[in-house]
Amino acid sequence: MIVRFPFLTKQSVRVIGVLVIFSVAWMSKPATALQLVKKPSPKKQSSQPKNFILIIGDGTGLAQWSALSAHYQYRAFAADSTHNLDIIQRDNVSVFSSFPVMGLSQTFSANNYITDSGAGGTALSSGQKTNNYAIGVNEKGEAIPSLATIAKNQNMATGIVVTCELTHATPAAFYAHQPKRSMMGDIAKDLYELNTIDVAIGGGYPYLKTFPFEQHNLIVDEINSKNYPTQLNNIDNGLSESGSMQRTILCYNKDTFPPKAHEGRAGYLERASVAAMRELKKQPNGYFLMIEGSQVDWACHENDSAYLMAEIIDLDNTIKAVLAEAKASGDETLIVVTADHETGGLTLPGWDKKNGCAKLSWSTHQHTGIPVPVFAYGPGSQSFTGVYQNVDVFKKIQTLLPKK
C-alpha cells in the first residue's frame, strides 16, 4: 500500500531529514560536564505495589462525587471575591484531582441487572459475578477466595475498616462464604474461625460478642460514641504500640452499627483507616486493606441529601488522609477507589441558590445499573483505565499481588 503525504514537498522532506540527522547526532553525543552535574531524573516508580488499598464508597456514583465537587466549588466561589471560575473549578474537585487514572466499572450481578451489595462486594472481592445477596460464593454456592485470602496466603497483612457492621454485606464479602447476606451470625463465625482479617474496625458488636476473639490474640474493644473525642484517641492508641502487627478487632460501640457522620461519627473513618494502615505496615510483606464508606448507600436509599453530603465529605476526607499517609510511607501503595453500585439514581439538574449547593434529584430508593467510576493512584494504577466489569477490578488487583 502506498501512503501519500500531500503536505510533504521535496523541500520539507529535506528539512525534516536535516532535523532528524541533527537530533540523532545530538542524542548520541558524549555527555558533557554540564549534563553530568544535571539533577538526576526522579526515581522511576516501580509498577509493583507493596500495599493494596481498595476504598469502596457503597452506592457512590459519578453524581454523588459531582455533588461533592459542587459543594467545594461553591465554598471556594463564596470565599474568592474575584470569582475566578477557572481557579475555582481547577482547585476544588474532590477525589477527581488526586487520582491520575480513571475507569468505569459495570456492576450488574449474575442474576440481576441491578446488583445488591452482596453480589457487588463479591465481584470486587473475589472476581466472580454471583447471585444477589450471596457472600463470597459463586452461582453454585461454592466458596471463592477473596483478595484478602489471596493476600494472606502470600504472608501479607489484611484489614477492613467500615462505617457499618463488620458483618455487613460489603466487608463480609472479603472474609465470609455464605449463601445469604442476612446470615450475620454465620458471617461473624467466619470472621472468627477463618481468621482471614488481621485488623477489623467497624460496627457489629452484637454479632461479634458471642465469639471469644480474645483467646485468639484479638482485642474486642469498644469505641463509645458518647465519649467520642477521647475514645477516638483509642483508635490510634488501641492498635499496638509494639513493633509487630497486632491482630485487632475494634467495635465502634455496642450498637449494631456506628451513627451517621453528621450525628457524631465524622472523622472516625479517616482516623481508623490511617490507624489500620500504620498497624498493617508493621508486617514486612505488605498488606491488603479494604475501607468502606458504607453509609453513602444508606443516605441514598433514604434520598436524604444532607445525610449524603455528610457521608461523602467524610469519605472524601478519608481518601485524602489515606493518600497522604501512603505518600508519606514511600508511595509504594496502590489505592483504588470505586463503588459496588450507584444508589438512588441521583442527578444534578441545577443549582440550589438558597442553600448554595447543587440541586439533588433522586429517581429511586433502590440501586441502579449505571456504571460507577474507578479512581486509581500509585504503582500499578495505569491498568485501571477503560471500561470494564466490576470483576475486573479484582482481576487487575490480583495480577499485581505478589506470587509465591
In angstroms, the CA 393 to CA 387 distance is 11
- Is residue 92 within 8 A of residue 76, CB to CB? The reply is yes
Q: Judged by CB under 5 A, which of 165, 270, 292, 297 binds Zn ion?
A: 297
**Number of continuous H segments (helices) and E segments (strands) in the chain:** 14, 14
Nearer of residues 280 and 360 to Zn ion, judged by Cβ = 360
Nearer of residues 297 and 316 to Zn ion, judged by Cβ = 297
In angstroms, the CA 319 to CA 338 distance is 11
Interface with Zn ion (CB under 5 A), residue total 1
Task: Candidates 195-203, 250-258, 291-299, 354-362: pick the segment binding Zn ion (CB under 5 A).
Answer: 291-299
* Nearest distance in Å: CB 116, Zn ion: 7
- Is residue 101 within 8 A of residue 150, CB to CB? The reply is no
Nearer of residues 110 and 219 to Zn ion, judged by Cβ = 110
- Considering only residues 363 through 402, tell me which ones interact with Zn ion, judged by CB under 5 A: none
- Considering only residues 86 through 145, tell me which ones interact with Zn ion, judged by CB under 5 A: none
What DSSP line would sit under 40-89, residue for residue?
PPPPPPPSS-SEEEEEEETB--HHHHHHHHHHHHHHHHHH-TT--HHHHH
Nearer of residues 49 and 345 to Zn ion, judged by Cβ = 345
What DSSP line would sit under 247-292, residue for residue?
PEEEES-SSSS---GGGTTTTHHHHHHHHHHHHHTTSTT-EEEEEE
Task: Candidates 67-75, 144-152, 188-196, 295-303: pick the segment binding Zn ion (CB under 5 A).
Answer: 295-303
HSE, CB side, 13 Å, CA atoms: give it for residue 304: 16
Task: Candidates 63-71, 181-189, 199-207, 296-304: pick the segment binding Zn ion (CB under 5 A).
Answer: 296-304
Task: Candidates 270-278, 289-297, 316-324, 325-333: pick the segment binding Zn ion (CB under 5 A).
Answer: 289-297
Write the DSSP symbol of residue 5.
Answer: -
**Residue whose C-alpha is closest to residue 273's, from 57, 50, 49:** 57
* Nearest distance in Å: CB 311, Zn ion: 13
Per rule CB under 5 A, is residue 316 in the interface with Zn ion?
no
* Nearest distance in Å: CB 23, Zn ion: 58
* Residues contacting residue 13 through CB under 8 Å, at least 6 positions apart: none
* Nearest distance in Å: CB 107, Zn ion: 12
* Nearest distance in Å: CB 184, Zn ion: 16
Instruction: Extract the C-alpha cell encoding 167.
Output: 458483618
Nearer of residues 169 and 191 to Zn ion, judged by Cβ = 169
Greatest alpha-carbon pair distance for the chain in Å reads 85
User: What does the per-residue mask of binding to Zn ion show for 5-44, with x meaning CB under 5 A?
Assistant: ----------------------------------------
DSSP helix/strand/coil, 186: helix
Q: Which residue has the cell 462505617?
A: 163
Q: How many CB atoms lie within 10 A of CB 138?
A: 18
* Nearest distance in Å: CB 360, Zn ion: 17
**Residue whose C-alpha is closest to residue 171's, from 278, 321, 66, 58:** 58
Nearer of residues 279 and 297 to Zn ion, judged by Cβ = 297
Nearer of residues 297 and 325 to Zn ion, judged by Cβ = 297
* Residues contacting residue 248 through CB under 8 Å, at least 6 positions apart: 198, 199, 200, 201, 218, 219, 221, 238, 239, 240, 279
* Nearest distance in Å: CB 66, Zn ion: 20
Nearer of residues 174 and 228 to Zn ion, judged by Cβ = 174
* Nearest distance in Å: CB 179, Zn ion: 19
Nearer of residues 57 and 159 to Zn ion, judged by Cβ = 57
Q: How many CB atoms lie within 10 A of CB 380?
A: 23
Task: Candidates 65-73, 140-148, 180-188, 290-298: pick the segment binding Zn ion (CB under 5 A).
Answer: 290-298
* Nearest distance in Å: CB 350, Zn ion: 26
The radius of gyration of the chain from alpha carbons, rounded to an integer in Å, stands at 24
* Nearest distance in Å: CB 365, Zn ion: 10
- Is residue 177 within 8 A of residue 143, CB to CB? The reply is yes
**In the bound complex, which residue of the shown chain has the CB atom lying closest to Zn ion?**
297
Nearer of residues 196 and 368 to Zn ion, judged by Cβ = 368
The residues that touch Zn ion, with contacts defined as CB under 5 A, are 297
